[in-house]
Structure 1
Amino acid sequence: MSLPNLSRILRVASADPCRVPDSQSADQEIRRGLERVYRFCRKNRRGAAAVEFAVVAPLFFLLVFGMIEFGRMVMVQQIITNGSREGARIAVLEGAKTDQVESAVSKYLTKASILGGIVSVSPDPPGSATYGDPVAVTVSVPFDQVSWLGKPMSLGSRGSVLPFGRGLNLTATTVMRRETVQ
């Protein structure tokens, strides 16, 4: 409200303190004053939303893409764990060979669209273990090869946006006891 309008309302109110000003005219005065304030504030806030978006958007998208990458990392970890389990199931059988184990693990990982897995079997060859001895199958995958967002955004790449997790390898080991056919 401007000063002249305020003084007019005060004059009317002070002329007769018991008299209530006409509510309709007072409402109109208040409404006009609020509209002026609103227009003034709106003029001064032009572009504020764009600036706020420019500040918040990178953090928001980093958070969203970080959640996507973390979810992918957990998913790939589960897949290679299952792959090492499949390899260990073959490795503990009588007459198992390292090539058979590596082939089974590679086939499992390929079906899950995981490329670049490194498989190691201990003891090598697994058929050399005696009954009851542990046989271990380890599967390792560099995370930057399986990241959905590629090397610049992944947790495991050298040129990563994020400062941690560089050169991250996802590894899973399954150990089972050697069996014999009876």
Structure 2
Amino acid sequence: MRQLGKKRSRIGGEAGSTIVEMALILPLFLLLVFGIFEFGRAWLIINTLNHAAREAVRLASVTPNLTTNNGAVITKATTILTSAGIAGATVTNTAATGTPLETTVNIALTYTWLTGIGPLLGFSFAGTIPLSSSATMRYEL
């Protein structure tokens, strides 16, 4: 008579295969997760730099007697960046030049990796990358 439901015994050597598979897959999975996190954070900071540059150049375009590195323009951009939790950015603006008259605001920031994934991927050996934004607008006065 044939026995139904007889369990086969495990072939030797398969017991540790799950640990080996996890050891191979886990670093790749963590690399992917941390990479997505860092890319999203850098993208958010670039969008904030763009917003601050646009708002500052908008103010600069209607400021009478605009000079290079005007305090009000720099304060406008710095206030936006500070409210977003971004510190250490360098903000500069140009006086109205050219034909037609135009003014430009430049913002530069050194982005520091939070997770350490950037240097691991070879993006930067120092753990930082430069981010910048620039906006130009016609001078209205």
TM range (shorter): 0.7 to 0.9
User: Is 1:136 equivalent to 2:108 in the alignment?
Assistant: no
User: Is 1:164 equivalent to 2:134 in the alignment?
Assistant: no
- Distance in 2 between the 1:111 and 1:141 partners? 16
**One-letter amino acid of the structure 2 residue matched with residue 92 of structure 1:** S
Higher relative contact order (CA 8 A, sep 6+): 2
Percent identity of paired positions between Structure 1 and Structure 2: 26
User: Would the alpha carbon gap of residues 94 and 45 (structure 1) be closer, same or farther in structure 2, given more than 3 Å must change?
Assistant: same
User: Would the alpha carbon gap of residues 133 and 64 (structure 1) be closer, same or farther in structure 2, given more than 3 Å must change?
Assistant: same
Pick the aligned partner of 2:39 from 70, 77, 98: 70
User: Is 1:119 equivalent to 2:87 in the alignment?
Assistant: no
Q: Which residue of 2 aligns with 1:19?
A: none
Shift of 1:164: 2.1
Residues 5-154 of structure 1: matches in 2 within 5 Å? 25-26=1-2, 28=3, 31-32=5-6, 35-36=7-8, 39-41=9-11, 43-95=12-64, 96=66, 98-123=70-95, 129=97, 132-144=100-112, 147-149=113-115, 152-153=116-117
- Distance in 2 between the 1:137 and 1:175 partners? 7
TM-score normalized with structure 1 length: 0.67
Shift of 1:131: 8.7
Shift of 1:64: 0.6
Shift of 1:130: 8.2
Shift of 1:165: 4.2
What CA deviation, in whole Å up to 9, does each residue of 1:49-75 have, x standing for no partner? 111111110111001100110111111
Shift of 1:122: 1.5
TM-score normalized with structure 2 length: 0.85
User: Is 1:177 equivalent to 2:122 in the alignment?
Assistant: no
Question: 1:131 touches 1:178 (CA, 8 Å); kept in 2?
Answer: no
Q: Which runs of 5+ in 2 are unaligned?
A: none
Q: Which runs of 5+ in 1 are unaligned?
A: 1-24
User: Would the alpha carbon gap of residues 89 and 131 (structure 1) be closer, same or farther in structure 2, given more than 3 Å must change?
Assistant: farther
Question: 1:140 touches 1:172 (CA, 8 Å); kept in 2?
Answer: yes
- CA RMSD after TM alignment: 2.1
Shift of 1:178: 0.4
